[in-house]
Amino acid sequence: MTHELFAGFFDHLLADARCERRAEKVLVDLLDSGNATINKFSETHTEKIGAYRMLANESFNHKDLAEAIYRHCKKNVRPGHFLGINDTTELNFTNHKGRIGNMDQDIGPITNKNNIGFFCHPMLIIDPENQIPAGISSINIWSRQESRPNRHERDYKKQDIKEKESFRWITSARGTKKLLQTCTLTIIADRESDIYEEFVLIPDERTDLLIRSSYDRKLYGEKQSLYEKLSSSPLQATYKINIPAGTKRTKRIARMSLRYEKVKISRPVNRPKGELPDYVELWAIEAMELPESVPAGEEPVHWRLLTTHDINAITDALTYVEWYSLRWLVEELFHLIKSKGFGLESAQLEKGAGLKKLCVLAIQASLTVMTLKLSLQNNHKIKADLLFSEEELMFLEIYMKELEGKTAKQKNPHKKNTLQWAAWALARLGGWSGYESQGPPGYITIKNGLDRFNDKVESFVAVMNYFKKKDLH
């Protein structure tokens, strides 16, 4: 896979053509091997040296590599409506502290100040109709310095938003709006993005916000607070949702209540008059799990959402709750980059700048695996040539007989040469039984299947290319 997909991926973005071809090769090898450790994804000593040199090359940085990802995303986005889901993760390289120099400006303390690494904040673009990723529109990567003052020393609450790390939520949305000008957007984020300035600066005629509330905010011209108003508002509907298993959640079908109100959120008291408007008008939604479906010892699912979208009917509010529920996709992207997938935190590099470059490449590789996995969950007809070359699809068609069982239940149920059809084959290669009764395959299964597919298809493509060259002569 991927050799055709990423051909010319970095063209005209890096220092020279050699750097571009090497970056393309590293991305291909990263995805083919399923591992971010150079010694594991490089087959020869020459390839290993080439990868190290590319990642250490100071003539370009991780931002230059990211431009290729944005370009790819822009190409995939058609006119219509898309979701932009953004969040932050930290990359922990404490285990390599002895290898990374103490004076490296690209590595610093993370949430636990005894650990070192950097932070990464991507914007994942999702097609809400098919619930398939279209790409990544923004990647902010930064590191903290040891000498950074704490919140108290910086008088954080009164600090200008542009001087705070939280400004990344605004810059990420702005970058996405600038990149994707042919579509309408709903920017989705968790509680850390509940920033008054974001509600002022980001929305426009083609951009809306859908943010989980973090604060029981004061309402303009009212005695009630936001949460008081929501909890006392009339019940609009009850509905059911599937809750996947998590570290603090039991898998279940949750019974939910729905309430919503139009509200005016007051300007924070620590912002001077005239700097920002006195209020912003939003719709507030409360989706709360009813007691009968909450397992013993667990907290109920409880979302309070703020949106610039209008709510004209119950179906509007339910749609926005469903969109917000897709936020877990960016969490899955983080898992794929790290422990569940490519193991970026185990990468053996000595420079933070190189690790940041590798992080960008791992994001694109993880996105490819995610797209394959998600394609099995929805009834769409996206063609497999989005990710596979002609030769690779020929191989899949030939090899499909070995992957399918003798019974109808073990046959590939998807239309030939669709992304679903190919993903089903990869899942079988990864060890999935093929029986729908056992549930869909997970990310690790898809990733393992992709690894095995790449091992098998390489010799097939080599033979095909040999006969093509022979025919030319």
| Mean pLDDT score, 243-265 | 90
C-alpha count within 13 angstroms, C-beta hemisphere, residue 364: 32
pLDDT band for position 99 (50/70/90)? Answer: confident
- Domain of 437, CATH number, reads 1.10.740.10
Q: pTM to 2 decimals?
A: 0.90
In a domain, 31, yes or no: no
Q: Which of 283, 242, 289, 244 is nearest to 262 (CA)?
A: 283
**Per-residue pLDDT at 45:** 93
Query: Residue 2: is its pLDDT beyond 70?
Result: no
Least confident range of 42-56, 183-197, 394-408:
394-408
| Mean pLDDT score, 372-383 | 79
In a domain, 10, yes or no: no
| Predicted confidence (pLDDT) per residue in 247-256, tens digit | 778 889 999 9
**Number of domains into which the chain is organized:** 1
In a domain, 38, yes or no: no
**Per-residue pLDDT at 57:** 95
Highest mean predicted confidence (pLDDT) among 82-86, 92-96, 105-109, 238-242 = 82-86
Distance from C-alpha of 45 to C-alpha of 414, rounded to nearest angstrom:
41
Query: Residue 47: is its pLDDT beyond 80?
Result: yes
**Per-residue pLDDT at 457:** 80
**Per-residue pLDDT at 456:** 83
More confident residue, 441 or 64: 64
Provide the greatest CA pair distance for the chain. Answer: 85
In a domain, 364, yes or no: no
3-state secondary structure the chain: CCCCCCCCCCCCCCCCHHHHHHHHHHHHHHHHHCCCCHHHHCCCHHHHHHHHHHHHCCCCCHHHHHHHHHHHHHHHCCCCEEEEEECCEEEECHHHCCCCCCCCCCCEECCCCCCEEEEEEEEEEEECCCCEEEEEEEEEEECCCCCCCCHHHHCHHHCCHHHCHHHHHHHHHHHHHHHCCCCEEEEEECHHHCCHHHHHHCCECCEEEEEECCCCCEECCCCCEHHHHHHHCCCCEEEEEEECCCCCCCCEEEEEEEEEEEEEEECCCCCCECCECCEEEEEEEEEEECHHHCCCCCCCCEEEEEECCCCCCHHHHHHHHHHHHCCHHHHHHHHHHCCCCCCHHHCCCCCHHHHHHHHHHHHHHHHHHHHHHHHCCCCCCCEHHHCCCHHHHHHHHHHHHHHCCCCHHHCCCCCCCEHHHHHHHHHHHCCCCCCHHHCCCCHHHHHHHHHHHHHHHHHHHHHHHHHHHHHHC
In a domain, 232, yes or no: no
Distance from C-alpha of 417 to C-alpha of 399, rounded to nearest angstrom:
13
**Per-residue pLDDT at 460:** 77
Highest mean predicted confidence (pLDDT) among 98-112, 198-212, 369-383 = 198-212
Q: Is the dihedral of CA 25, 26, 30, 33 positive or negative?
A: positive
**Per-residue pLDDT at 85:** 98
In a domain, 140, yes or no: no
**Per-residue pLDDT at 339:** 80
Query: Residue 154: is its pLDDT beyond 60?
Result: no
In a domain, 306, yes or no: no
Query: Residue 406: is its pLDDT beyond 90?
Result: no
Report the chain's mean pLDDT, rounded to a whole number.
90
Range of the domain at 429: 376-472
In a domain, 389, yes or no: yes
